């Protein structure tokens, strides 16, 4: 079994930094994406989802993390994962710094470039959940994800 986990809003609670980019009907004219990404070091772990990832891995499943988070904070992200008992090598896909395409389109491109199709995905953002489902992949939506 191949399972993909999103990071921001799924494994990590990023609610404390959403104000930097705006959300839903309150989108900012000039979101500060770099500040948003750099504040990831203060994210709280979402333990039920982290424990799910660990359980899948302990059961022999292949688990990967695909995130729209910028690789500007690659080292910080690996440190965060390690602090929360997640092997950093599971981090497979990150947004290239300076790329502003939608996370749904970016993850769709990663999917098309992937040798294996995930059997299951854990995600929070509605538009990304919709994309996975459009591609015929079962997706567990773990939060509202309207940012």
| pLDDT tens, residue by residue, 122-145 | 999 999 999 999 999 999 999 986
User: What is d(CA 72, CA 33) in angstroms, rounded to the nearest whole number?
Assistant: 10
Residue 147, pLDDT score: 56
- Give the residue numbers spanning the domain of 135: 2-141
| pLDDT tens, residue by residue, 50-94 | 999 999 999 999 999 999 999 999 999 999 999 999 999 999 999
Q: Give the CATH number, domain containing residue 19.
A: 3.40.50.1000
The answer to whether position 51 is within a domain reads yes
Asked if residues 66 and 123 have their Cβ atoms less than 8 Å apart, the reply is no
Give me the chain's average pLDDT, please.
93
In b/e form, how buried is each residue of 50-63, taking b as 16+ CB within 10 angstroms? Answer: bebbbebeeeeeeb
Residue 31, pLDDT score: 85
Share of the chain above pLDDT 90, in %: 86
The answer to whether position 125 is within a domain reads yes
The answer to whether position 147 is within a domain reads no
The answer to whether position 117 is within a domain reads yes
| Number of domains forming the structure of the chain | 1
Asked if residues 28 and 72 have their Cβ atoms less than 8 Å apart, the reply is no
Q: Tell whether the model's pLDDT for residue 25 goes beyond 50.
A: no
For residue 36, name the pLDDT band (cuts at 50, 70, 90): very high
- pTM above 0.85? yes
Asked if residues 45 and 9 have their Cβ atoms less than 8 Å apart, the reply is no
The answer to whether position 146 is within a domain reads no
The answer to whether position 126 is within a domain reads yes
């Amino acid at each position: 079994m191949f399972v993909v986990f999103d990071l921001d809003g799924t494994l990590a609670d990023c609610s404390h930094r959403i104000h930097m980019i705006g959300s839903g009907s309150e989108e900012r004219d000039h979101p500060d994406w770099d500040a948003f990404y750099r504040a990831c070091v203060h994210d709280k772990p979402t333990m039920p989802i982290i424990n799910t990832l660990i359980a899948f891995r302990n059961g022999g499943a292949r688990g990967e993390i695909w995130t729209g988070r910028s690789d500007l904070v690659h080292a910080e992200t690996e440190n965060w994962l390690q602090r929360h008992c997640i092997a950093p090598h599971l981090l497979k896909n990150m947004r290239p710094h300076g790329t502003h395409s939608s996370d749904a389109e970016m993850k769709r491109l990663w999917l098309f470039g992937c040798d294996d199709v995930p059997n299951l995905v854990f995600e929070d953002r509605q538009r990304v959940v919709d994309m996975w489902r459009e591609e015929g992949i079962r997706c567990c939506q773990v939060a509202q994800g309207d940012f």
